[in-house]
């Protein structure tokens, strides 16, 4: 069995006296998309922030490519190859598209300017809309273009794993479809991703493996393609909204309206 690129064991954390993650185990395989789904308050975003080092871990271990990273600050995890796209995208609105990408590539640029230049062109090739607007202020972009910029900003650092929190939040159905195509292209390039989504239909169309969370505990783990409506309805109460086989990566799985 191949060792996962990113794994976590017995994660326990929270805020003050409130426990959010109750001894959770998690793993993400190299070159795959691992989807994390659950209702509000299930601990999805806290899991991502804990893996990224934004939320301190109370107990447990986090291993990236065989190296334990718990206790290391977020910026060190970035250097080690872990990138985090936070909820709400959080682009630097007053900076240009290229300046945003430059911020994302700071570590790589300092280490190897030639590799940074190559990575920047790779991002522009992946997202032609960003290339066309490279001198435009990020705040003037559409929501979908800002989502592309948020993902491109971490990809320019050539990370080993990308943690993406609710990329479809606040986007229209048409833009969600556009974002889906973009992330499928990123996936096809072999980028390892951990995707937190409340839009289950969108997330399952991207994911290879699915984790279902309830109150900070994993209640189901398995291939996304094998998740049926009954399991989703039982664990999340959303199965009937998906109308058809939810694990299929095609446009016949309706998105959340």
The predicted model gives 92-104 an average pLDDT of 95
Q: For residue 213, give the nearest of 13, 40, 34 by alpha carbon.
A: 40
Question: Residues 200-236: pLDDT tens digits?
Answer: 999 999 999 999 999 999 999 999 999 887 888 888 8
Domain 6-90+161-242, second-level architecture: 3-Layer(aba) Sandwich (3.40)
Q: How confident is the model at residue 246 (pLDDT cuts 50, 70, 90)?
A: very low
Question: Can you give the pLDDT at residue 158?
Answer: 92
CA dist 25 and 28 (Å) reads 11
Question: Can you give the pLDDT at residue 239?
Answer: 52
- Judged against a pLDDT cut of 80, whether residue 87 lies above it is answered with yes
The predicted model gives 156-182 an average pLDDT of 91
Q: Which one has a higher pLDDT value, 22 or 257?
A: 22
Question: Residues 108-162: pLDDT tens digits?
Answer: 988 888 999 999 999 999 899 999 999 999 999 998 899 999 999 999 999 999 9
Q: How confident is the model at residue 238 (pLDDT cuts 50, 70, 90)?
A: low
User: Long-range contacts of range 178-184, CB-CB < 8 Å, 24 or more positions apart?
Assistant: 178/144, 179/144, 179/147, 179/148, 180/205, 180/206, 182/126, 182/127, 182/148, 182/151, 183/151, 184/249
- Judged against a pLDDT cut of 80, whether residue 237 lies above it is answered with no
What rounded mean pLDDT belongs to the chain? 88
- Judged against a pLDDT cut of 60, whether residue 257 lies above it is answered with no
Question: Can you give the pLDDT at residue 178?
Answer: 87
The predicted model gives 93-120 an average pLDDT of 93
- Judged against a pLDDT cut of 80, whether residue 29 lies above it is answered with yes
Question: Can you give the pLDDT at residue 243?
Answer: 43
Q: How far is CA 199 from CA 40, 166, 169, 180, in A?
A: 11, 8, 8, 12
- Judged against a pLDDT cut of 80, whether residue 241 lies above it is answered with no
The predicted model gives 9-26 an average pLDDT of 96
Residues constituting the chain = 257
End-to-end CA distance of the chain: 39
The predicted model gives 72-97 an average pLDDT of 92
Question: Can you give the pLDDT at residue 90?
Answer: 87
């Amino acid at each position: 069995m191949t060792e996962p690129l990113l794994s976590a064991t017995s994660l326990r954390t929270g805020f003050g006296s409130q426990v959010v993650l109750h001894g959770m185990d998690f793993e993400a395989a190299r070159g795959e998309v691992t989807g994390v789904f659950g209702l509000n308050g299930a601990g999805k975003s806290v899991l991502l922030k804990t893996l990224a080092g934004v939320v301190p871990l109370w107990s447990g271990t986090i291993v990236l490519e065989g190296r334990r990273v718990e206790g290391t600050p977020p910026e060190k995890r970035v250097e080690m190859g872990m990138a985090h796209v936070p909820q709400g995208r959080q682009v630097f609105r007053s900076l240009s598209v290229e300046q945003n990408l430059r911020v994302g590539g700071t570590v790589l640029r300092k280490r190897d300017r030639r590799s940074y230049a190559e990575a920047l062109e790779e991002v522009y090739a992946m997202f032609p809309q960003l290339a066309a607007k490279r001198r435009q202020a990020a705040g003037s972009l559409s929501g979908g273009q800002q989502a592309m910029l948020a993902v491109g900003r971490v990809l320019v650092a050539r990370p080993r794993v990308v943690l993406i929190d609710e990329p479809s939040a606040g986007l229209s159905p048409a833009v969600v479809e556009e974002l889906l195509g973009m992330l499928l292209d990123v996936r096809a390039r072999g980028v390892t991703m951990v995707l937190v989504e409340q839009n289950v239909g969108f997330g399952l169309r991207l994911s290879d493996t699915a984790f279902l969370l309830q109150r900070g505990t994993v209640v189901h783990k398995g291939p996304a393609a094998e998740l049926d409506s009954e399991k989703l309805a039982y664990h999340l109460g959303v199965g009937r909204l998906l109308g058809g086989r939810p694990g299929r990566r095609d446009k016949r799985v309706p998105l959340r309206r």
